[in-house]
Amino acid sequence: MRNKLISIYKTLYNHFGPQNWWPGDTPFEVCVGAILTQNTAWQNVEKAIVNLKKQKILNPYKINKLPAKKLAKLITPAGYFNIKAKRLKNFISFLCEEYDGEVSNMFSNGSGNLRNHLLSVNGIGPETADSILLYAGNVPIFVVDAYTKRVFNRLNLTPEDITYYEMQEIFMENLPSDAMLFNEYHALIVMLGKNYCKKRPLCEGCPIKNCHFRTL
């Protein structure tokens, strides 16, 4: 499996080039983006974040004081805005109460139990928690999403019903524990999913369709 994962990574990297993820000017913005991007395209998240910046409230304490309804209106482009406003408020309350509103404080003592703390926040699931850890804190943890499961299932490398943690373990156990590598690999999988491995796959031109281990 290790050789297969490395082969896929190199092929995708050569095809798409470096992705330089995650889009965001600050670690806090990365956290906000990780929450808003649930079930929506990134371009919609960008519009929501622009709205927050225009109002000059992309700040933990300012958002914490903002009524949920007003926040929901500002992040409308991200979809599910009422739900996401509550989730974002929950995270920011956690950040302000536990870490004085500073993302850097979350990581000051290492990742430790931080993942479990993040998962205890209502609305923060494994993918969002791991995105915050990897992209905002540079913690070497692999982020799994729907694209990851789809791609590796279509390559007959993983079963369709594989769990998040089983999928994550494959990467964590077979690749060096390197945040930069995990960052780039996940971004490249997303590029593959968006451009080729869609719900209706566009196999023509897919950079990994001819990998020697492909059995489909």
Task: Provide φ and ψ at 58, rounded to 5°.
Answer: -80, 70
CB 189 within 8 A of CB 12: yes
In a domain, 112, yes or no: yes
Question: What does the block give as tokens for 150?
Answer: 């789809």
| 38 and 103 assigned to the same domain | yes
Per-residue pLDDT of the chain (216 residues; tens, 9 = 90+): 999 999 999 999 999 999 988 888 899 999 999 999 999 989 999 999 999 999 999 999 999 999 999 999 999 999 999 999 999 999 999 999 999 999 999 998 777 799 999 999 999 999 999 999 999 999 999 999 999 999 999 999 999 999 999 999 999 999 999 999 999 999 999 999 999 999 999 999 899 987 655 443
CATH number, domain with residue 100: 1.10.340.30
For residues 12 and 50, state if they share a domain.
no
Cα dihedral 27, 188, 152, 193 in deg (nearest 10): 100
Instruction: Answer yes or no: do 12 and 51 share one domain.
Output: no
Residue 161 is part of which domain span?
2-20+142-195
Predicted structure pTM score: 0.93
CA distance 213 to 127: 28
The residues, ordered by sequence, that sit 6+ positions from 10 with a Cβ below 8 Å of its Cβ are none
Rounded Cα distance, 182 and 171, in Å = 8
Determine, yes or no, domain membership for 207. no
Evaluate whether residue 87 is within a structural domain: yes
User: Do 59 and 104 reside in the same domain of the chain?
Assistant: yes
How many structural domains comprise the chain? 2
Whether 202 is in a domain gets the answer no
Q: At what angle do helices 179-195 and 2-16 cross, to 10 degrees?
A: 70
66, containing H or E segment:
none
Same domain for 104 and 32, yes or no, is yes
* 34 plus 131 within the same structural domain: yes
Spatial contact of 167 and 158, defined as CB atoms under 8 Å apart: yes
